[in-house]
A and B are shown apart, each in its own frame.
Chain A
Amino acid sequence: MKLWLTYCAVFLSGILALGVLFNASANPEQVILGRWQETAWAYEQGIAFAADIAAASKSGSVQPEFSFHKAEDWEFLPGGRLRLRIAGKEEWLSWSMKGRGHVLQIKYGDHRIENYQLTVLKNNKMVLNAESDLQARGIAQLIFERDKSTTYAQKIQ
């Protein structure tokens, strides 16, 4: 009986600790909501593939493998909707998070899917790593800063 109580106590403490940890932390699905401005692209130097992407982005041609957005700002809305503003025009996509909240998946209307690794997600900064395959992570980064102006997501919170 005493042994069972000990086991139950240990398991319950573990579950309680997990609950506390969840409560004390911010859900990335909530943190990402709002308007983000794309401030920079960063490439790791010395990698031929990354250099190709950089060259393609400078020349304005279609980039190999990825189709990074050149939106001025991205607005993540509840319900998995994403509003992009590109040269004054709006584009609507859908977004979702995968894994432990470390992968951002963006879906286009034509069923095309892009996956980005959420390397940094803080209140004012977000860094997305383009993910072509498991070995090529981290070669190209999109860096965002939070747009302080009022957004739809903030309004409804």
Chain B
Amino acid sequence: MLRKYSNSRTLGDNVKLGVLTAFSAGMVNIASLLLFFSFSSNVTGHYAILAAELVKGNLFQAAVVLGWVFLFFFGGFVSNMFVINLNKKNTYIAHALPIVLEIICLVAVGTYGHFFYKETLAETEVMLALMLFAMGLQNGLTASISNFTVKTTHLTGITTDLGILFSMFTKKEYRRSKELKNKAVLLLSIAAAYLSGAIVSGITYMHMGFRLFYVVSIFLVVVIVYDFYKVKLFRFLHIKRKTPHIRPVQLNGTKHFPKMQLQKETEEEIAAY
């Protein structure tokens, strides 16, 4: 999910990353709506609200919303800074760091909300700001590493793309296109995961309250650990194949070591590392 970059990513990589992160975003968005009466995974509505508050002369509210929009932007900025600066040194670390930061933000919101929240407006705004930053990080990362194919914190673009795709499927030539079919699968998976996350969040919120953010964090930990396990496994296999503890084969009275040949998938993975 996180090891590969841009065009070396497969449909499976994108679907796995898209589904897990969209599910998390759906949960966070509904949790923030139910707990704080404001969305946290998209900013389109916030732009409209910002304009409305400015028109009404509510400078405080306008400043709050402007701050939230800035933090969503800053999340995307920070995320991509990790990707473009650390990608050549260690792709996995470059892609995992924004998710780690996101988990820290969400755990902070969950812990503060559960143990210390006094329901003041300042606390509400700071927690929402943290959530928007976290969602900006996530959206920035998924968009950046998937060559802008996967965006998981809002569904406006995805719904538009699906509309376009399904209109294209009315033509036989497009229906046969594997690329378009893959894209439809990816987008539908993301939309379904986001919706599922939102529903699960809505149902469990009454029982879990702020602890819901721990559950979201667990999903994100799965994203990191899954790839960490893959990295470890790959390195283990790679080192094992390189070490000459292979038994020599007797051919015409002399000892020969069989030629090492990496599988195609492994060669591709080397490029990804």
* Chain A residues proximal to chain B, CB less than 8 Å: 14, 18, 21-22, 24-29, 80, 96-103, 105, 115
Residues of B within 8 A of A103 (CB): 37
21 A–B contacts from the bound complex (CB under 8 Å): A18-B67, A18-B70, A21-B59, A21-B66, A22-B60, A25-B63, A26-B60, A27-B121, A96-B119, A96-B120, A97-B124, A98-B36, A98-B121, A99-B37, A99-B128, A100-B49, A100-B61, A100-B65, A101-B64, A102-B61, A105-B119
Closest to A131 in B: B37
Q: How many A-B residue pairs have CB under 8 A?
A: 61
Residues of B within 8 A of A27 (CB): 60, 121
Residues of B within 8 A of A26 (CB): 60
Q: Which of B25-68 contact A (CB under 8 A)?
A: 36-38, 49, 53, 58-67
* Chain B residues proximal to chain A, CB less than 8 Å: 36-38, 49, 53, 58-67, 70, 118-122, 124-125, 128
The complex places the Cα of A98 from the Cα of B32 at a distance, in Å, of 10
Q: Are B62 and A21 in contact (CB under 8 A)?
A: yes
Residues of A within 8 A of B58 (CB): 25
Q: Given A14-B70, A99-B36, A100-B38, decide whether A21 and B63 contact each other with a Cβ distance below 8 A.
A: yes
Residues of A within 8 A of B124 (CB): 97-99
Q: Are B62 and A97 in contact (CB under 8 A)?
A: no
Question: Distance in Å from the Cβ of B218 to the closest Cβ of chain A?
Answer: 26
Q: Are A25 and B49 in contact (CB under 8 A)?
A: no
Residues of B within 8 A of A96 (CB): 119-121
Closest to B66 in A: A18
Residues of B within 8 A of A105 (CB): 119
Nearest 4 pairs of A and B residues by beta carbon: A25-B59, A25-B60, A21-B63, A96-B119
Q: Are A101 and B63 in contact (CB under 8 A)?
A: no
The complex places the Cα of A100 from the Cα of B53 at a distance, in Å, of 10
The complex places the Cα of A21 from the Cα of B67 at a distance, in Å, of 10
